[in-house]
Amino acid sequence: MDSKISFIGGGNMATSLIGGLIANQFPAHNITVAEPDQSKLDELHQQFAIHTNTRNQQAVAQSDVVLLAIKPQIMQTVCKDLAATIQQTKPLVISIAAGIRSTDINRWLGNNCAIVRCMPNTPALIQCGASGLFANEQVTAEQHRTAEQILSAAGMTLWVKDEALLDAVTAVSGSGPAYFFLLMEAMQKAGQQLGLDTETAQRLSLQTALGAAHMASESNDEPAILRQKVTSKGGTTEAAINSFLSSGFENIVTNALTSARDRAIELADYLGKNQ
């Protein structure tokens, strides 16, 4: 891939993607970051030897790919400012802003734009993310491959054919890390209540979560099968699992993810209003 990429916004997610691209031997001289914070630009240049610019339009003018890594609240303003340049150059536009639909981005950019919308999660910051991707009808096969190469620099990528499914992706993986952090937190507290000191309870909880996730990702068995394999009849694990299930654990999870999905829809409706 020899595309010229411009990042609009130089925050944590952009930094992670740039780091992943550089680690994958993508040429630094083909990357530009546009960002109003000069100190942040200086840090990025020093770290990655990439080009920097304080003006979005200048950064975008010579780009094959424009990656919007900005807060959802300013997306409309930034897109409208870039619309004339985007209409002239017709790059692939990739958005990693949560809750902004591709149809709204397309409208703000002047229509007929090739747009890929990405829903990453925070482990992308350490190149261990899970991202859901959607491409609109203007995205070519080559641009599709380009987007996947760029975004896979931050971890696993999966495509959905219906953009509405990104709300479900948000509920499962976008917000998902917090669910596991909550479980780790609860396990640590329970361990302390059972007599373990804070450090021991925390280290055991974190390593157990890491080991279980790694085991599940490396196994050919589904999580349900793995759970059954470690749940001996009449044993300690079965006692814990039965307690979870009798407390309505599956309903709790379903209700939580449904709430996250519904909130994602509400936010997209709000942020997409034509103000």
- pLDDT tens digit string along 209-260? 999 999 999 999 999 999 999 999 999 999 999 999 999 999 999 999 999 9
CB contact at 8 A, 205 and 191: yes
Non-local (6+) Cβ contacts of 61 within 8 A are 85, 89
Distance CA 150, CA 161 (A): 19
Cα separation of 154 and 19, whole Å? 9
Match 């068995």 to its residue by tokens.
221
Q: How many CA atoms lie within 13 A of 256 on its CB side?
A: 14
Token duo for residue 61? 């003018």
The amino acid at residue 112 is N
Tell me the HSE value of 128 on the side-chain side, using a 13 A CA sphere: 7
Residue type, 49: A
Helix or strand (DSSP H, E) at 53: strand 51-53
Question: What does the alpha-carbon distance between residue 229 and residue 153 come to, in Å, rounded to a whole number?
Answer: 34
- 51-69 confidence digits (pLDDT tens): 999 999 999 998 999 999 9
Pairing of strands 114-119, 129-135: antiparallel
Positions in the chain short of pLDDT 50: none
Centroid of chain to Cα 237? 33
All domains in the chain, ordered by first residue: 5-166 (3.40.50.720), 176-266 (1.10.3730.10)
Nearest to 94 by CA among 135, 55, 62, 123: 135
Question: Quick one: which of 96, 77, 171 has its CA closest to 134?
Answer: 96
Note the pLDDT of residue 120: 94
End-to-end CA distance of the chain: 38
Q: What is the amino acid identity at position 55?
A: R
Residue 83 backbone phi and psi in degrees, to 5: -55, -50
pLDDT of residue 74: 94
Q: Are 67 and 6 in contact (CB under 8 A)?
A: yes
Helical axes 249-271 vs 236-246, angle rounded to 10° = 50
Predicted local distance difference test score (pLDDT) of residue 52: 96
Q: How far apart are CA 235 and CA 223, in angstroms?
A: 19
* SS3 state at 6: strand
- The pLDDT of residue 99 is 87
Per-residue pLDDT at 274? 57
pLDDT the model gives residue 272 = 87
User: Quick one: pLDDT at residue 2?
Assistant: 80
Structure tokens at 218: 């490396």
